[in-house]
Structures are given as structure tokens and as C-alpha cells.
Amino acid sequence: MNWMMQAGESTRGLNAPGSGSVAGGGQEQMPAVRGRLSANAPLDKLVWFKSGGPADFLFEPADLDDLTSFLGGLPEGTPVMAIGLGSNLIIRDGGVPGVVVRLGKAFASVEVRRDCVVECGGGAPGILVASSARDAGIAGLEFLRGIPGTVGGFVRMNGGAYGREVADILIDCDVVLPGGNCVNIPVGDLDYTYRHSRLPDGAIVVAARFQGVPGDPAVIGAEMDRIAAEREASQPLRSKTGGSTFKNPELTKSGGKKAWQLVDEAGCRGLTMGGAQVSEKHCNFLINTGEASSADIEGLGEEVRRRVAQTTGVALEWEIKRVGRP
């Protein structure tokens, strides 16, 4: 049975009686865990926008076995979603149904293997991966310094920056599918396109291996410093934001213009809705100016899309993932 067939199967029924280690007074029957399982768990502090409602359950697994056992024991049909650093994500104000999984230190390792291979846990931040590669004299992974997320997130969405993307360096990844099966998937089976893979909803990337090339640590470090300085100069990094809001459209459809240029042309730089604003510094970024609701932020994004379509004829697509109940 291939991994896509397994992914299409429904999750099994409850395996373990009782509620396990549940904080927050959840009443539903859930599998026993060794990590932390919290009911009605706030998510706003875990995402860059600092807005949104709670998760029905937030699960922070102790290790891979804890994760696979838990997912295999969930009641059939329970929604599952992984969260990393919380960038590129709007949690809607009504919260997230089912279970949100957050990978902690047990999934944040980075190890250098032979032949310039870097093996990473799904919870490892991009900056840690790039820095570890630099220290080992491995080039080609510098662009990960510019991706504000974890391995699990940018492997799933083929994250990229500064002319490179995950599809350029990924060898394979280990993924826990809905139902708890852990499978190894080579890069060719992910059918990567721009900011997209064929991984199904509920699949969680727990590890990945990246291929680099030999390089001079000083040169690698200089490139990483350049990327950091360029991000600082051009992006509102010290604001409550979510990263790039819209995907860059095909250049043939946009007249060679990137998303930010289309937003600017439509007169949306600085546009506000409630507590949300289109950044003055980089108008493909939305920011929470203080007390914005997620509805403010998403509504502003939709208004920008409307104005861009009306002005330029280009239908911008969201790059930020929007999840949960309105």
C-alpha cells in the first residue's frame, strides 16, 4: 500500500480508555499520552499575528512514538493540524476544531551526515538548520535563514526565499499520516509546485534530509548575514505580522510584477480595517497594529484582493494559511 492510499484511510477509533494526560478540563475521550494534551488551549500567543481563538485540543508529543500512538488512537474523523512557529498563519477567531499538534524539542534536532547531508527534525527552525550547515561547511542551505518557520512547515509548503526553495535541496522526509502511520517520502513523490505539495491535510512532517554542497563557512556566513540584513531592511519584522500574504502570480499574468507591486498599484499601501493594516514598509505584509481580530486581518486581505483584481485584473492567491472557525 503506498503512502497516498494510507493517507486516504480514515483514522481508527479510540484505542485507549480514559482521557490520558489532559490539561484544561476537556471532556471528550482522548488517547493517553506521555506529552502534554491541553483542552480549549489558547493559540494566539503561538502565532505571529497574536490573534485568534483556541484549539479544541493542543498536543505537544513527548517523541515520535507518542505522536503516532496518539494519532492512531484518535476518534474517527477528528481533524488534525500541525503548527510550527506560527508564521504564515491566521487562526480564525472561532478557534480550531479537533487537535493542533505542536512539535517541541524532541523534534528540533539538526545533525550533519556524510556527503553534505543535513538531517533535521520537523520542529527545527530554518535559522538553526542554516547555521548548523554553515558551521559544518555545507553550502546551499543559506536561504533557509530567510524562512520564518520550521522544517515541518516549509517542507509541506515548499517554502522558499531569495531565489531558492525546498524542492531544490530536499532528499526525502518522514511524515506521520492521519491514522498514525509513519512513512518516508522521497522528494519526487511530493509533486512540488510553487508553495504547494501533495501532502494531505493532517499529515505531519517529523523529519527531513537536505542535500548541500561543500563550502567555506566564512562565505556561507556572509551570505546568511546578507539575507538577514535584506529582510531587516525591507520587511516589518518587528511587527505582529504573518510573513508574505499573497503568492507571487505568474509573471505572464501579472505583466512581470510581483504581488507587492500589484498591491501598491491598487493603492493599498497603508490600508486599514479595524486593527489590521497593510504594511507601509512592505505592502505584501499585513500587520496587527495592536488589538486586531483575525477577522480584521483576513477581511483586510480579502479587500486587498478585491482592489487588486478590480485595478489590475490579477486574482491574488493567499500564501498565508487561514484555518479554524470564523
Task: For the domain made up of 108-233, give the CATH fold.
Answer: 3.30.465
| DSSP helix/strand/coil, 202 | coil
Domain ranges for the chain, please list them: 3-105, 108-233, 244-319
Q: Looking at residues 293-298, what average pLDDT do you find?
A: 98
| pLDDT band with cut points at 50, 70 and 90 for residue 254 | confident
Reported as a single tens digit per residue, the pLDDT across 133-178 is 999 999 999 999 999 899 999 999 999 989 899 999 999 999 999 8
| pLDDT band with cut points at 50, 70 and 90 for residue 4 | low
Number of neighbouring beta carbons within 10 Å of residue 137: 17
Closest CA to 314 of 260, 278, 235, 277: 260
pLDDT at 20: 39
Answer whether 3-105 and 244-319 agree in fold.
no
Reported as a single tens digit per residue, the pLDDT across 5-27 is 666 554 333 333 333 344 544 44
| Residues above pLDDT 90, as percent of the chain | 85
Reported as a single tens digit per residue, the pLDDT across 99-142 is 999 999 999 999 999 999 999 999 999 999 999 999 999 999 99
The overall average pLDDT reported for the chain is 92
**pLDDT at 324 exceeding the cut of 50:** yes
- Least-confidence region, from 32-36, 180-184, 244-248, 253-257: 253-257
> Does the structural domain 244-319 have CATH classification 3.90.78.10?
yes
**Which residue shows C-alpha cell 517523541?**
63
Reported as a single tens digit per residue, the pLDDT across 57-74 is 999 999 999 999 999 999
- Active-site residue list: 195, 244, 319
**pLDDT at 79 exceeding the cut of 60:** yes
Write out the DSSP string of 24-91.
S---S-----SSEEEEEE--GGGSTT-----EEEEEE-SSHHHHHHHHHTSPTT--EEEESS--SEEE
- Least-confidence region, from 217-221, 256-260, 273-277, 305-309: 256-260
The whole-angstrom separation of Cα 139 and Cα 112 is: 12
pLDDT at 192: 97
Question: How many whole angstroms from its chain centre is CA 304?
Answer: 23
Q: Identify each DSSP E strand in the chain by its residue range.
A: 22-23, 36-41, 55-60, 80-83, 89-91, 96-102, 110-112, 117-121, 138-139, 160-161, 164-165, 170-176, 182-186, 204-211, 213-214, 240-241, 272-273, 276-278, 286-288, 321-323
Amino acid present at 291: E
- How would you classify the pairing of strands 276-278 and 272-273? antiparallel
Number of residues that make up the chain? 326
Q: What is the CATH number of domain 3-105?
A: 3.30.43.10
Angle at 31 between CA 28 and CA 35, to 5 degrees: 110
